[in-house]
Amino acid sequence: MGYACPVCDTEEADAVHLANHLAITASLGREDHREWLAEHAPDWSDCTPEELGERVRPHAQEIDTPEFEASGHDHGRPDSLEEGIARQSRQPGRGSMTAETQGVLEEAAELTREMQTERESNGDENENA
């Protein structure tokens, strides 16, 4: 059994996947998901997927998800926000990643690389001081 997103009815395999869907979608700027989380789990950004899943599960409709169960769907947490978004875009019925989403991911990856380079540079300066 899985859950339907209480905002957009997207099918998720379990409460952890539902939590990841809500958090990722809210993080990408979807105000409807962000507002729902603000009302039902105000501290959502501080929760682990398991904690958030327990908080949002009671608000979601339980549904049959035979396609997830039959496929041996991976219930692991994505290693990064980018991986989570990519996983969601590959799930059945989701279509492919939009050009806008791809652009956002590329920009986020570039900003992350810049921050890491800057942090490494600052570390070198601190060692020389």
Reported pTM: 0.55
Q: Which domain holds residue 70?
A: 2-97
64 and 108 together in one domain: no
Tell whether 103 and 74 lie within a shared domain.
no
Looking at the structure, do residues 110 and 81 belong to the same domain, yes or no?
no
Q: Any idea which residue has 């501080």 for tokens?
A: 46
Both 59 and 29 in a single domain?
A: yes
Q: Kindly state whether residues 15 and 26 are assigned to the same domain.
A: yes
Reported as a pLDDT band with limits 50, 70 and 90, residue 128 is low
Q: Express each pLDDT in 48-91 by its tens digit.
A: 999 999 999 999 999 887 665 555 555 455 555 556 666 555 44
Residues 81 and 128 in one domain: no
Token representation of residue 72: 């041996």
Beta-bridge partner residues of 11: 4
| Weakest-pLDDT range from 4-13, 27-36, 53-62, 104-113 | 104-113
Q: Is 104 found in the same domain as 48? A: no
